[in-house]
Structures are given as C-alpha cells and as structure tokens.
Chains A and B, each alone.
Chain A
Amino acid sequence: MMNKFDTLPAVTAVELSGIWKRFPGVVANAGASLSVYRGSIHAVLGENGAGKSTLMNVLAGVYRPDEGEVRVEGVEHRFRTPADALASGIGMVHQEFRLVPSFTVAENVVLGAAARVLRRQAIEDEVGELAERFGLATRPERPVWQLSMGERQRVEILKALWRDARILILDEPTAVLTPAEADELGVVLRAMADAGRSVIFISHKLHEVTGFCDEATVLRGGRTVAASMSVPDTDAGELASLMVGSLPVTTERPPAHPTGPPLLEVSGLSALGDRGLPALESVDLTVRAGEIVGIAGVAGNGQRELCQVVSGLRPAKAGTVHLAGDDMTGASPRRLFQAGLGYIPEDRLGVGLAPRLSVIDNSILRTYEAHRRGPFIVADRAEAHCADLVERFGVRTGPLDEPMAGLSGGNLQRLLVGRELSGRPRVVMAAQPTRGLDVQGVKAIQDLLVEAREAGAAVLLVSEDLDELLTLADRLVVMHDGEIVGEFDPTTAARSEIGEAMIGHAAGVGS
C-alpha cells in the first residue's frame, strides 16, 4: 500500500507526521501523516469530516496541532500563525474562500504583501501581469463580490502566487466550480507543478484525482489509511473503498418482513443547489411502512438537497412530495413534523440542535407546544420530558439545564435521534446519522433506526458508509449528479457494482 512515486526526484517538500488535533468533543486528526514530493500534485482524499481541512490548516499555521511534527523542505517548523507558514512558502486556498468581497481583485491579491504606499494603477497592472503569466483570467479592478465562484478561486490562487508560495494547498477547490472550470484548473495546477511547485489537492471527487493528480493520500476518521499511493497505478474503486472504509459490522442484518403502504412518495422532484445550479433532477423514490431504504452515493451528489426539500428547508423546482398520501410539497418544517416526519439532519449542530441552549430546551425544540400553559413553558413538564428522553435513549449528560454544547458527539446525536423518534413518526429521514461517532454510538443509532422500522415507520437512510447501508437497508438506491442512477438489493448486490454506480458508471436494476 505504501508504494512511492518514483519517477520524480525524491525531494520531500512537506512531511507531516503523527498530527493530532482535538476540538471540543471531536478528534479531528488522530495521528495523521502526509508526505509530498516537490513538483507533484498530491491528492488528499477523504469523506466529509475525515479531517482533511484540519490537517491542511495545521500545515498552513491556522491550527496549532496538539501533537506531531511539521517539516517543510526538510526543516522542522512550529507554526504559530498563518504568517509563519507563509514565510516558509506555504500558500493555502481555503475551502471557504478568504477574500474581502468589498475589495478589488488587485487589493485582495496584494493584501499580504504590498508596498507601503499603494498606487492603484500600479498594483492593478502588476496583478494583471501575474494573472496573464499563469493563465488565470481575471479583472484586477473588479470588486470581488461581483465575481463568479470560479474567478474568485483564481484570485485565491493568484494570492498564493503573488507571495511566491512554493507549496500550494487547495482545499476542495472544485466544489464550487463547473466541470469545465475544474478541467481548466487541472491544467493550471499541472503547469505550476512542472515549474517546481508542489500542489496539495484536497477532494472527495475521485475522477478529478485520477484526472490530474500524481499521488494520493487517503484520510479516514482523522487517520491516514493509505499514504502516497501512485495514482496511475491505483484503481479508482480501490481509492473509493479506502475512503469509505469498512466499519466493524456491529449490527446484525434485521430479518426482512412484509412492508405496508407507501408513506413517503417523492416523484419527479427537481431542485436547485446553493449556487442556483440544478442539484436534483426528477428524483422518484418511494418508502413503505416497515422498510429502510438506503441512499448511497459520494457526498455532494444531491443527497443533501433531497433531504432539505423533503424536510421543507429547500423549495422544489418541480415534482411532488407525499407523506402518508397527503401532498406535502413545499410544506413548512413544522407542518411536516406534525404530519409525522422525523428528521435527523446531517448538520447536527447547525440544523438539528442549538448548541448554546440547554439540554432541556433542545429536547423540546420540536414539541414545546405540548409543554406550555398559555404563553409559558411549564418548566417541570419540560424537564420531565427531557429526563425521560435522556433515560430512554441513554444520553450521557451533565446537568440538564447546562448548554448542549458540552455533550460529546455521540451523546448529541442520541439526544437528537431520541427527540425525533420519541413522537413515533411515520416517516424517519436520517442523513449521515452515524458519521463521526464511535463504535458504540454507531450501534446505538443503528439499533434505533431498526426499531423504528419494526414499529412500522418508513425509514429513509442517507449514508456515505456503504457497509452501513448494506447492513441496514432493505432496498438501496444510488445517487449520482442529482439523479437516482440505480437500485440494488443489498442482500445480493456486489459492492463493486454499487461502487461503479456511485462514480457515475450506470449499472444496476431499474432506472
């Protein structure tokens, strides 16, 4: 697995080893390592939450690691600020751009290193020249807020080039690009690598990695699970399975049993994504009472938007959503909840829970109506409800009136799942419900979903963990590029076949 890329001169530009980084409640990096040769494009692959951005922020001086060693061009460094990393020739294009929208392109580019007195025309000319030299089309006099995402990205790269960064980190650069823009970026990066710079390219899109990267390192759960694999010699399917990994099987496949009437029916559903581009294309999906339908796919292929539309958080462009036979297209989240939808969102702390509110307040966020007298919440009743949830769902917590944020990831999720399931919803939609949890947490959540199924709920499970889906789902559909591209029977389907569908090579029964 550790085969070195040996056609390049063996000069190591970056060497990270044994990097640990903990945040309250999460271990983002657990001894991760990375080694990058000069003049190569090195992909860092991993699912959402694998710790890629954290590792790169450590290299760029934004985060200080708890443990571990950072070597740049052979010299050990302890970066205390981004300025230190910049001084060592490291430039980073962050996942969320670091640009000042009200500044012009030129002002943004020179921000880190400008002459004492600025002459507008002069810096615009210089930035224009630099852009031309590297083939990064931009208009230096334009304010950044007027630019497309693609052009903003070019400005970010120009910033690094302006400071003459020898090591360029791009964190999920293609997430905001159209496919054509992504291809152009590949060309630019290759030219930079050929000129002796080293490029670290973060992604979870396999085809880009195979398209223009030399080597790949795969992270999972904060650890490096495969280091510096030669991309031309590695099969895309192998990289995919390394990314997704295989958890120890903790849950027995529940015996199949007869299903009831369709409770969730999605038909012809289309919707736009955050950037106004199509994210869902006429999706048809039915989930019956007493079954778990799994949605597999590489992140960013419309799963998030599907959940958002069904839960009332994103408008549909076309198509309908029916809940237990009633048309619920465009209904508010509150109405959907009252109609029997339990939703376990992907973004637990953003959408699911309010971290600064107490455990009690979080537990009644959805059902406060049941705990009020007139305009007041009856504190005793709310607390009793919360204590009941905590007990039934095994949440380990401190005092219930303390802020939620103090709970560990697994316990946050138990409370959230408990809150959504305690009202016995008819339809349960769970997005990445076990992501980032430890083994016990995973098992607890999976058991709860199976229980809900046994109780006659229709369960829609979105997961990037194929093993989880193969264990739990009664039926499995694969999403790619906003469409459902295949349906599989988890008891008989081959993993490789599902994997092919996930990367867009049509296969599978139906559709």
Chain B
Amino acid sequence: MNEASLIGLCAATVSFGALLYLAALGEMVSEKAGILNLGVEGMMAMGAVTGFMTALEFGNPWLALVVAVLAGALVALLHGWFTVVLGAEQVVSGLSLTILGLGLAAYLGKNAVGRPPGAVLAPVDWPVLSDIRWVGPVLFQQSPMVYLSVLVGVVVWFVLSRTRTGLALRAAGESASTADAAGHSIVGLRLAAVAVGGGLAGASGAYLTLSLTPQWAEGITAGRGWIAVALVIFGAWKPGRVALGALLFGGTLALKTRLQTFGVDFSPILLSMLPYLLTIGVLVVISVRARNRPSPAPASLGIAYRREER
C-alpha cells in the first residue's frame, strides 16, 4: 500500500460518506416528523435516473440536480399521501416505494444504459487549499455535492434545533397529539418533512450518476439507500453523529472495492455487512440505556395520527 492509494481511499471515504449523508439527512428529517420512509433506495434510484437523463437531454448538471430533487420529492409524496393523509402502514408503503422506485427507474432509464453522461458535476478546485498535501486531495478536490451535503447538514441541524418550524416538526414526531393541540398542522408538517426527505434522497442519487460514477445502469444504487436508513439509527437521529457515521460507513464502501488492490485477504461481503452490524450494536446500546431515559428515536415514529381516534 502506497501513499497515493491511501489518499485515494480517504478521498473515496469522503465521497461515499457525502452520498450516504445526503440520503440519511433526508430520512432523518422525515423520521423526526414521525414518518418512517423505507423507500430511500427507490427514491435514490429515481433521482439517479432522472438526473442522468436530464443531463443527457439538456447538458446542464445543475438543472439535472434540480430535476432529481423534484423527482425524489414527488415519489416521496406518494408515500406521504398514503401514510400521512390516509394513515396507511408506513413499513408496507415504504417497502412498496422501494420496489416501485427501482422498477420505474429501470424502465425510464432503458435507453440511457451505457451511454456517456450528458454533463457531470466537475470537482471543485479550491484556490490554495486543494494544493495542500494530503488534505487537498481528500477534502478540497471533491465534487460540489460533497460541499453541498455539508451545507445541508448545517441547515438541517439549525432548522431542527434552533427554529420554531424545527420545534414543531420534532413535536409532530415525538407526540403528534401534542403538536396538534398546540395548533400545528400535523399533515402539513409531516408532508413537508417527507418531501424534504425524498428531495435529499433524489439529490444523493443524482450525485451518483452525475459525479461519483457518471453513468446509468439498473441497480446502480446498490443498496446504499438501505445503508442510509441504518445510518439514521446509528447516528441516533442527530445530524452531527449521522455525519460521523456517514464517514464510517462511507469508509466501508470505499474499502470494499480496494481490498484486493491492497492485498488484504478479507471478504468484501463481510465488509458490506459492517454498517448493519454496527447499527444493530447501537440499537442494543439504545435499548439498554432506554430503561431510565427516553430513547433517541422519535416517540411517534411510525404511528399514524388521527385526531378523533384514541
């Protein structure tokens, strides 16, 4: 293992971390409002394909990103319609969304398979910083999506913990009847959160096809949506901890493709299990501690709210 390949590993860790972070932040916002959306994988695929195809058609990567965000949000609102408005079972609806999103993306992208990208989000070249040894290539020669994910992380943290809207949104996820009695619209808050969640999953998908691996192929999301879902739990629904988890899980993704080049004899399949094993570990810790304090999970997560029902 030489210096170049180590730097490559670190840079890929940051890239994959940002990919997971965007999707996980979206899922976190949705869950904070009380809606579990297991359709991340499907929403990501929709973002990936619509972004890629918009770039093919119009040649503008930023327009492609906007379209991907809208596509993700739109698909998510389908979940919102079922679970928030109609009160359907969130797990079932979310799983259906994954299947629907993956299928629809494959169908839409039929003709895009194997084509060269119409446009890519080129890495940002920071003056001075990108030339620093080690730090430059790892942190300052990344795709704009990496910096965007950091920005989104800060905004999500600020809105959730420092604004009235965030307080109401968290209340909707902790105790919907309380937020309702305080005069907030549960349907409005939850739908908005679900849409934001879908938009960020869409952005994460677009990052994949516009920057990380700029091409479209069926199944290109490769289960990363699921890692994002696990990441929210691993990060205990806190933007900062989710960021750390994203780097950790991103590291396993980066390492997986490099194990062989490093000459390490470790099964990449076992490595892919690592995020989930760590998440289960965190769940165990949470449940053990839960005995004398509330769990970090939103208390109303997964529970539909109907005002006149007891």
Please report A residues at the B interface, Cβ cutoff 8 Å: 23, 60, 62-64, 81-83, 86-87, 92, 94, 98-103, 107-108, 110-118, 145, 159
User: Which residues, 141 to 186 on B, are CB-close (under 8 Å) to A?
Assistant: 162-165, 167-168, 170-171, 174-175, 177-185
CA distance A22 to B110 in the complex (A): 55
Q: Are B183 and A81 in contact (CB under 8 A)?
A: yes
User: Which residues, 274 to 308 on B, are CB-close (under 8 Å) to A?
Assistant: 293-294, 299, 307-308
Q: Are B182 and A63 in contact (CB under 8 A)?
A: no
With A102-B174, A114-B164, A118-B167 already in contact, the answer to whether A82 and B181 are too (CB < 8 A) is: yes
With A102-B174, A145-B294 already in contact, the answer to whether A62 and B181 are too (CB < 8 A) is: yes
Instruction: Give the Cβ gap from B156 to chain A, nearest Cβ, in Å.
Output: 15
Q: Are B180 and A82 in contact (CB under 8 A)?
A: yes
Picked from A82, A94, A100, the residue with its CB within 8 Å of the CB of B183 is A82
Q: Are A159 and B162 in contact (CB under 8 A)?
A: no
Residues on B with beta carbons closer than 8 Å to the beta carbon of A145: 293-294
CA distance A482 to B82 in the complex (A): 48
Q: Are A111 and B167 in contact (CB under 8 A)?
A: yes
Residues on A with beta carbons closer than 8 Å to the beta carbon of B171: 100, 103, 111
CA distance A118 to B168 in the complex (A): 12
The 21 listed contacts between A and B (C-beta, < 8 Å) are A63-B308, A64-B308, A81-B183, A81-B185, A82-B182, A83-B184, A86-B182, A86-B183, A98-B181, A100-B170, A100-B171, A100-B178, A100-B179, A103-B170, A107-B167, A111-B167, A111-B171, A111-B179, A112-B182, A114-B164, A117-B163
**Besides A98-B182, A108-B178, A117-B164, 15 new A-B residue pairs in contact (Cβ under 8 A), listed by A number:** A62-B307, A83-B183, A92-B181, A98-B177, A100-B170, A100-B178, A100-B179, A101-B175, A103-B170, A111-B168, A111-B178, A112-B182, A113-B183, A116-B164, A145-B293
CA distance A145 to B290 in the complex (A): 12
Q: Are A103 and B181 in contact (CB under 8 A)?
A: no
Give the interface residue-count category, chain B: 20 to 34
Please report B residues at the A interface, Cβ cutoff 8 Å: 162-165, 167-168, 170-171, 174-175, 177-185, 293-294, 299, 307-308
Instruction: Give the Cβ gap from B207 to chain A, nearest Cβ, in Å.
Output: 30
Tally of contacts, chain A with chain B, CB under 8 A? 78
Q: Are A117 and B162 in contact (CB under 8 A)?
A: yes
Q: Are B299 and A116 in contact (CB under 8 A)?
A: no
What 5 pairs between A and B have smallest CB-CB spacing? A83-B183, A112-B182, A98-B178, A98-B181, A114-B164
Residues on B with beta carbons closer than 8 Å to the beta carbon of A23: 308
Picked from B164, B174, B182, the residue with its CB within 8 Å of the CB of A115 is B164
CA distance A100 to B178 in the complex (A): 7
Most buried by B among A64, A87, A100: A100
CA distance A117 to B181 in the complex (A): 21
CA distance A23 to B167 in the complex (A): 32
Instruction: Give the Cβ gap from B191 to chain A, nearest Cβ, in Å.
Output: 16
Residues on B with beta carbons closer than 8 Å to the beta carbon of A81: 180, 183, 185
Instruction: Give the Cβ gap from B133 to chain A, nearest Cβ, in Å.
Output: 41
CA distance A103 to B170 in the complex (A): 9
Residues on B with beta carbons closer than 8 Å to the beta carbon of A63: 307-308
**In this complex, what residue of B is CB-closest to A102?**
B294
Residues on B with beta carbons closer than 8 Å to the beta carbon of A110: 167
Residues on A with beta carbons closer than 8 Å to the beta carbon of B294: 101-102, 145
Residues on A with beta carbons closer than 8 Å to the beta carbon of B183: 81-83, 86-87, 112-113
Instruction: Give the Cβ gap from A145 to chain B, nearest Cβ, in Å.
Output: 5
With A82-B181, A94-B181 already in contact, the answer to whether A118 and B163 are too (CB < 8 A) is: yes
CA distance A46 to B43 in the complex (A): 53
With A145-B293, A145-B294, A159-B182 already in contact, the answer to whether A114 and B177 are too (CB < 8 A) is: no
Instruction: Give the Cβ gap from A347 to chain B, nearest Cβ, in Å.
Output: 12
CA distance A60 to B170 in the complex (A): 23
Instruction: Give the Cβ gap from B84 to chain A, nearest Cβ, in Å.
Output: 16
**In this complex, what residue of B is CB-closest to A108?**
B178
CA distance A117 to B167 in the complex (A): 10
CA distance A145 to B181 in the complex (A): 19
Picked from A60, A100, A112, the residue with its CB within 8 Å of the CB of B175 is A100
Q: Are A99 and B164 in contact (CB under 8 A)?
A: no
Residues on A with beta carbons closer than 8 Å to the beta carbon of B163: 116-118
